[in-house]
Structure 1
Amino acid sequence: MASVKVKFRPSTIEGKEGTIYYQIIQNRVIRQLKTDYRIFTDEWNEAGSCIIVGSSRRSNLLLSLQERMEWDLKRLDMIIRQLDNRKAGYTADDIVASFQSNKEGQSLFNFMQGIIARLKQMGKIRTAENYSCTLKSFMQFRGDRDILLSEIDSDLMQLYEAYLHGKGAVRNTSSFYMRILRAVYNRALEKELMEQRNPFRHVYTGVDKTVKRAVPLSAIKRMKSLDLSLQPNLEFARDMFLFSFYTRGMSFIDMAHLKKKDLQNGFLSYRRRKTGQQLVVRWEKCMQEIVGKYPEDSLSPYILPVLKYPFKDTHKHYRSVMSGINRNLKEIARLADISVPLSMYCARHSWASAAKGKNIPISVISEGMGHDSEATTQIYLALLDNSVVDKANAQILKGL
């Protein structure tokens, strides 16, 4: 059986990146398979034949390259096993040709991991997470057995859908995974990696309307009035929920990344990380009261004490903090006699519901964010004079 080794070739020019390549050996014949993965000499572990990710500012890039490398090796292993199973002779050149071919040996796992790596490099971390979650689920369904793109068909997708429902997933969850897999499949079609087989025609890829996760103003008042001074973790979770509500349902990821420079002349200006839309919110007294409760870190660029500074992997830390807040909000809901399973996302729904209850025009609220797509709501909001939205927010905050 052929063997594969990972090698690193330093640059002949001092201070420049070297190149990672694969050494393929079959019947004592050695061939090299080049990659476009470039790193510096001190980022390579020769003994372990792996990248040193570390905690440098390039850590995200290095981690992405390491993941791509691991998937390349899995793909090479799959190609070698397929060639072995044919019970016919093959050479190291055959392995290289199969790997480089756009039509042979291209597996779903490898192709999808490549997409995930590119999304990370483009800074689309949230989308990359969704793709990673889908890939992990599909790998569990397959028992970690990879599959060629050309082997994806309607029967397989129906089996996967049945598997998800058997694990307790609702239709919206299975549809979420299916839509991501469909996007991956369509990208492979664009690259002409296989022929169209319409594998998603018999599975559900729509979006069912779900129960709204809003809580009424009366419940938010009860949350606000809770004495949590002896339970700082609960108090912090409650404050983050209220800050989101005060700022027109700002998403937690945007809250976490708010910087001090974003607050100027009584207005908070930020760009949504999900859509890229620029939003401006008038700074109210209740917002300042929350910020003022927590000691200011002069070294930190952030307004809220969510992300530690300096912190190398801010995204991982943000996810960890959000998870803790959502757990604590469940306890707050119990203390405040709130039946809705409380989370940070509820603040967004709650603001929209409160606005609707205050008879704010539908053009301002877009039916309490009740559209099938949040993007539709954002289109409505983007067309409005921002002062109209600020007045709406002021009316809501007066009710507390």
Structure 2
Amino acid sequence: MATVKVKFRASSVAGKQGSLFYQIVHDRRVGRIRTAFRLFPSEWDAGKGCCRIESAIDPERREYLTTIQLRIQSDLERFDCMLTAFGQGGVTCGIEQLLAALSSPQPDMLFDFMQRLILQLRELNRIRTSETYTAALRSFARFRHQQDIPLAAIDGDLIEAYEADLRRSGVSRNTSSFYMRILRATYNRAVEKNLTPQRHPFRHVYTGVDKTVKRAISLESLRRLRMLDLRSDPRMDYARDLFLLSFYLRGMSFIDMAYLKCSNLQDGVLVYRRQKTGQLLRIRWEPCMQAIVDKYPLRHPDYLLPIFQNGLPDGRNQYKNRGHWINQNLKRLGNLLDLSGPLTLYCARHTWASVARSRDIPLSVISESMGHDSETTTRIYLSSLDTGMVDHANRLIIDTLSNETPE
């Protein structure tokens, strides 16, 4: 009877990741099946034949190791089923035939294919994209009750049923479209790799972007926020200051603020690349910005703002935790100001765009200032404001007509 074990082979280069492979022993002969999994020696438990998930400090690395472990378990279960079938069928074969059978192509499954894409994205350091793919996979897996499906079995009826299920569960139209676009990108990638024929299963589901609910606050509310005396509550004071700094920095997103290095500020100009698009932006450094930076001691010598803490991994977990903490306190501030909607860091970005538009700054300038790929994105930000401007103009016209003196 053949046996299968998972083995780790360390790299010959110190500090580099090693590789995992499956060792097949049959009739006293040994064969190997390679994998694409890469690990550091400290992340592999040779005695138990599994990943040391707890060895990773960074949550992203733990999730990566967890994904690998799930893939290993899936492969071992498949090998066990095939070997059992061989034994029950009385099939006799040599090590070469056995290796060929175990490594033969299996029906390409959606979950497995998406997990491989997620691993590749993480290896390319496209962390945010890998997180969106993970969210879409989890959503679809819940719909499928965790049952994987062959890529070739995906059709329009299945995707329409998934969309209907999302709607029944209360998911917004934009969120549903978000998941659909990721699944469609995954499916199209599989088509490019000739893993499934193109059946256009997403033809009859919504994959657009609806106008979002207005997230900007009024200029008057922004002034009230700036004038609040928050010395008695340092947490809300800090949250307010980060919100204002985002506004001063032309609506800079929080992730871009978090990763600003001291070296990004040179000769009165802040130069940085957007984390989302890689676009290079320049912002003149103003006294109001420096006043906020001077107000707080740096928590990390390399970073411009007091967000990352020195001595801890500079991973996305620090950025996420700090952002969540700030938004909690901003919501408290929003309640204090009696705002109609929740106040979040993202509102600063919408507010800057809205104020800029109300000052008749051209749309092209606003789009360039915010680092948008196109003016279409900027229009989504400003859709609710533009409607209000049109209504105001209409009122002026009506008032002009009403006040006009007959000749």
Q: TM-score range with shorter-chain normalisation?
A: 0.7 to 0.9
> Which amino acid is the alignment partner of residue 280 of structure 1?
R
> Which amino acid is the alignment partner of residue 68 of structure 2?
R
Q: How does 1:326-365 map to 2 (within 5 A)?
A: 326-365=327-366
Question: TM-score, normalised to structure 1's length?
Answer: 0.82
Partner residue of 1:320? 321
Partner residue of 1:392? none
Separation of aligned partners in 1, 2:345 and 2:126: 21
CA drift at 1:138: 1.1
Deviations 1:42-99 (A, max 9, x none): 4422123233463589x96686355234224325535755897998677887885566
Deviations 1:320-354 (A, max 9, x none): 11112112211110111211221111111100000
Q: How does 1:22-37 map to 2 (within 5 A)?
A: 22-24=22-24, 31-37=31-37
Change (3 A) 1:165 1:193: same
Structure 1: runs of 5 or more not aligned: 381-400
Structure 2: runs of 5 or more not aligned: 379-407
CA drift at 1:162: 1.4
> Which amino acid is the alignment partner of residue 243 of structure 1?
L
> Which amino acid is the alignment partner of residue 140 of structure 2?
F
The match for 1:377 among 371, 375, 378 is 375
Work out whether residues 269 and 280 of structure 1, in 8 Å CA contact, stay in contact via their aligned partners in 2.
Answer: yes
> Which amino acid is the alignment partner of residue 232 of structure 1?
P
Partner residue of 1:49? 49
Root-mean-square deviation (CA), in Å? 3.4
Work out whether residues 248 and 348 of structure 1, in 8 Å CA contact, stay in contact via their aligned partners in 2.
Answer: yes
> Which amino acid is the alignment partner of residue 152 of structure 2?
S
DSSP-derived class of the 2:272 partner: strand
Separation of aligned partners in 2, 1:74 and 1:307: 38
Residues 1:117 and 2:119 are matched in the alignment:
yes
> Which amino acid is the alignment partner of residue 357 of structure 2?
K
> Which amino acid is the alignment partner of residue 77 of structure 1?
E
Change (3 A) 1:211 1:36: closer
Work out whether residues 11 and 18 of structure 2, in 8 Å CA contact, stay in contact via their aligned partners in 1.
Answer: yes
Question: TM-score, normalised to structure 2's length?
Answer: 0.81
Separation of aligned partners in 2, 1:184 and 1:309: 38
Work out whether residues 55 and 312 of structure 1, in 8 Å CA contact, stay in contact via their aligned partners in 2.
Answer: no
Partner residue of 2:394? none
Work out whether residues 219 and 336 of structure 1, in 8 Å CA contact, stay in contact via their aligned partners in 2.
Answer: yes
Partner residue of 1:107? 109
Separation of aligned partners in 2, 1:49 and 1:205: 43
Deviations 1:357-379 (A, max 9, x none): 1121233125998xxx9420399
> Which amino acid is the alignment partner of residue 179 of structure 1?
R
CA drift at 1:355: 0.5
Percent of pairs with identical residues: 47
Change (3 A) 1:266 1:196: same
Larger Rg: 2
Separation of aligned partners in 2, 1:379 and 1:163: 28
CA drift at 1:293: 1.0
Partner residue of 2:180? 178
DSSP-derived class of the 1:341 partner: coil
Partner residue of 2:234? 232
> Which amino acid is the alignment partner of residue 312 of structure 1?
P
Partner residue of 1:304? 305
Work out whether residues 2 and 83 of structure 2, in 8 Å CA contact, stay in contact via their aligned partners in 1.
Answer: no
Separation of aligned partners in 1, 2:332 and 2:13: 59
CA drift at 1:241: 0.7
DSSP-derived class of the 1:5 partner: strand
Separation of aligned partners in 2, 1:20 and 1:276: 34
Separation of aligned partners in 1, 2:15 and 2:322: 38
Work out whether residues 2 and 80 of structure 1, in 8 Å CA contact, stay in contact via their aligned partners in 2.
Answer: no
Work out whether residues 75 and 105 of structure 1, in 8 Å CA contact, stay in contact via their aligned partners in 2.
Answer: no
Work out whether residues 51 and 69 of structure 2, in 8 Å CA contact, stay in contact via their aligned partners in 1.
Answer: no
> Which amino acid is the alignment partner of residue 374 of structure 2?
T
Change (3 A) 1:361 1:17: closer
Partner residue of 2:398? none
DSSP-derived class of the 1:243 partner: helix
Change (3 A) 1:270 1:212: same
Residues 1:9 and 2:9 are matched in the alignment:
yes
Q: How does 1:215-254 map to 2 (within 5 A)?
A: 215-254=217-256
Partner residue of 1:64? 64
Partner residue of 2:401? none
DSSP-derived class of the 1:161 partner: helix
DSSP-derived class of the 1:20 partner: strand
Partner residue of 1:21? 21
Partner residue of 1:128? 130
Work out whether residues 76 and 95 of structure 1, in 8 Å CA contact, stay in contact via their aligned partners in 2.
Answer: no
